[in-house]
Chains A and B, each alone.
Chain A
Amino acid sequence: MTTDLIGHFGRFGGRFVPEALIGALDELSLAHQEALNDPTFQVELMELHRTYTGRPSIITEARRFSEYCGGARIFLKREDLNHTGSHKINNVLGQALLTKRMGKKRIIAETGAGQHGVASATAAALLGFECVVYMGEEDTKRQALNVARMKLLGAEVIPVTTGSRTLKDAINEAMRDWVTNVATTHYLLGTVAGPDPFPTMVRDFHRIIGDESRAQMLELIGRLPDAVLACVGGGSNAIGIFYAFLNDQSVRLIGLEAGGTGVETGKHAATIVGGTPGVLHGTRTYVLQDDDGQTRESHSISAGLDYPGVGPEHAYLHEVGRAEYRAITDDEAMEAFSLLSKSEGIIPAIETAHALAGAMKIGKEIGHESALLINLSGRGDKDVQTAAKYFGIPL
């Protein structure tokens, strides 16, 4: 999908921001466009990915987990093996190099699960930036381990105590900081949401996941997978793996949203499945909102998916029918979490477990002849406490 000059994906996307930020967004847009066409930038980023991130990431065939997926062949794109433990580092290193290019020395970031915050703190340490991470107070409790990691890396973590005290409010606070300090500060947004150019730029930094996977699948099985699956919070790991397959009409693209206790209960974060078009955090997209356009609180066992918005490109892919979106409940995700751990020796992030639960359903639907590619977006170390509590394991 190519956007128009002002960042639209069909009727979604665009910019809904204070004028104060327009200059910074234009500057970022330009830096991104120049970097895309600058071989030295690309070489520097690829070199960092090779020697620091650990790319290319491997693909693991999950032969035992396949049993729970109707016998479908299951291929895991191992973004969990990246440095810092998730896909988030792809985007962070890209934006960090852009920050350097723009001559800024301070980065701010929002984080839900803490994975994006950790990746941002890591890049700041590597490149010598000051780093401030905004995190909802509720999430600092759910993800205490990651808070400590960010501090160890030298970042300042500011707990956000407004609103629902989760990711949405952390983004509000980061935007306020940015409006105030925009001359010296880059807002290193962690997903494909927000005003143009973020959805396009963050996608471009993550498309390496799909580019690598597509070639790897052709080499491994001599054909494309029947479906590509990923969990969707803001949608960065999903668009990253989908993008290379957009024109492969035979490949189903399936995004799994956080269904919480069930979309029908109202306690969920399934923005496309259970939301309506609106404007949130600078972009037009699907939003969880009430009749008055007030944002509704989202709910998910997974902090990284607990967001009442979604990237505008997903809203578009949903509307034109190129990608499908489904909701996975907390319980379904935790079952998949446990099954993958016990059948493959891989403990996934709870976010990722939503994609795995999706594979269990889709595999049964399309059968044992099929091949499913799943973005294993992150590892579950950060979730040990939550999972232990869920499964009643004493700590």
Chain B
Amino acid sequence: MSQLEKSFELARAENRALLIGYLPAGFPTLERSISAIKAMIEGGVDVIEVGLPYSDPVMDGPVIQQASETALTNGFKTGNVFEVVAASPAPTLVMSYWNPIERFGVAAFAHELKKVGGEGVITPDLTIEESESWISSTDKERLHRVYVVAPSTTDNRLTEVSARCSGFIYAASLMGVTGARTDISSAAQSLVERIKKVSKTPVCVGLGVSTGAQAREIAKYADGVIVGSAFIKLILESNSESEANLKVKSLATELAAAVRR
């Protein structure tokens, strides 16, 4: 059983949803992205999703765009993502658009990630039709493969995509890009229910989740809650590393309390 699977098992035993926190590697700097991850975990985040900054993040709203741009301006290189994963004390996945992985070398990327203890990869723009080399490489390295499905995804396609997911299935809460929203639409719950009909793999809900109240709602029907932009926003708004990490830890604490059922 992988560390990720153990985390799900533990959360289930404690009657709560898993809390997953997202941060881009190298934002605002390499060291600070690592210290912010540690602050998240101290606050109660179970699993870390490390973003690989990319120049053309079409699935991301203004906050993650800005964070990615900052990381790249500050000299982030693909290889740095492995340093961040290695330094993360919790089970950690990478979230990456496809081109940086392909450019690094598909097999090499999977191999390096496994070497530093990574759990798997979330690929928001890789379709199953284009996944042949990815599936064989991640299978070989025994890495989890997480695809992102959306409210518009048909039942047939949910079956196809879920069958290729492992670890968990990422359910986008709404039609749109990342970034905090005031409401989580009812689309999220019905999507999770549709996935549950075709797959036994855990389902985590992300996109737009920023508050304890939202996390509490989602925890009622999903196996995990994913929060990203809200953490990044706190870092962007802070004047120092210590201020940022305090705020990050406190949001993590609020969210961790909220995911208990």
Contacts and interface: CB of A to CB of B under 8 A. Distances in A.
Interface of A: 6, 14-20, 22-24, 162-163, 168, 172, 175-176, 179-183, 278-282, 284, 287, 289, 291-295
A292 B56 contact: no
Interface string B101-134: 1111000000000000000000011110110000
B99 A20 contact: no
B74 interface: no
B22 interface: no
26 contacts: A15-B127, A15-B129, A15-B130, A19-B172, A20-B150, A23-B152, A24-B152, A163-B55, A163-B56, A168-B56, A176-B58, A176-B59, A179-B58, A179-B59, A180-B176, A182-B175, A279-B98, A282-B125, A292-B100, A293-B102, A294-B54, A294-B55, A294-B72, A295-B55, A295-B56, A295-B99
B53 to A, nearest CB: 8
A279 B102 contact: yes
Given A163-B55, A279-B98, A293 B78 contact: yes
B99 A289 contact: yes
Contact of B99 (A6, A19, A168, A280): A280
Contacts of B57: 172
Contact of A16 (B130, B157, B175): B130
Given A163-B55, A292-B77, A18 B65 contact: no
B153 A23 contact: yes
Nearest to B149: A19
Interface of B: 54-59, 61, 65, 69, 72, 77-78, 98-104, 124-127, 129-130, 147-154, 157, 161, 172, 175-177
A21 B152 CA distance: 8
A6 B131 CA distance: 13
Q: Which 4 A-B pairs have the closest CB atoms?
A: A293-B103, A20-B150, A180-B176, A293-B100
Given A22-B153, A293-B103, A16 B56 contact: no
A275 to B, nearest CB: 12
Contacts of A24: 152
Contact of B152 (A15, A182, A279, A295): A182
A243 to B, nearest CB: 25
Nearest to A180: B176
Given A22-B157, A295-B56, A17 B125 contact: yes
A179 B126 CA distance: 15
A63 B152 CA distance: 57
Contacts of B124: 18
B104 A293 contact: yes
A18 B125 contact: yes
A389 B100 CA distance: 39
Nearest to A279: B99
Given A183-B175, A292-B104, A172 B150 contact: no
Contacts of A293: 54, 78, 99-104
A20 B152 contact: yes
Contacts of B151: 20
A56 B101 CA distance: 46
A176 B61 contact: yes
A6 B128 CA distance: 11
B100 A180 contact: no
A293 B124 CA distance: 16
A172 B97 CA distance: 13
A19 B147 contact: yes
Nearest to A175: B58
A19 B59 contact: no
A19 B102 contact: no
A196 to B, nearest CB: 9
A133 B143 CA distance: 41
A16 B100 contact: no
Contact of A6 (B129, B148, B150): B129
A179 B148 CA distance: 13
Which of A23, A281, A287 has the most CB atoms of chain B within a 10 A radius of its CB? A23
A118 B172 CA distance: 34
A141 B44 CA distance: 49
A19 B157 CA distance: 9
Contacts of B126: 16
Contacts of B59: 18, 176, 179
Given A280-B56, A293-B103, A14 B175 contact: no
A182 B172 CA distance: 15
A162 B69 CA distance: 9
Contacts of A179: 58-59, 175-177
B130 A14 contact: yes
A390 to B, nearest CB: 29
A287 B97 CA distance: 15
A292 B153 contact: no
Nearest to A282: B125
A181 B57 CA distance: 18
Contacts of A289: 99, 103
A125 B152 CA distance: 29
B175 to A, nearest CB: 6
A88 B234 CA distance: 44
A180 B127 contact: no
Contacts of A294: 54-55, 72, 100
B99 A180 contact: no
Contacts of A279: 98-99, 102
A292 B71 CA distance: 13
B179 to A, nearest CB: 10
Contacts of A163: 55-56, 69
B129 to A, nearest CB: 5
Contacts of B129: 6, 14-15
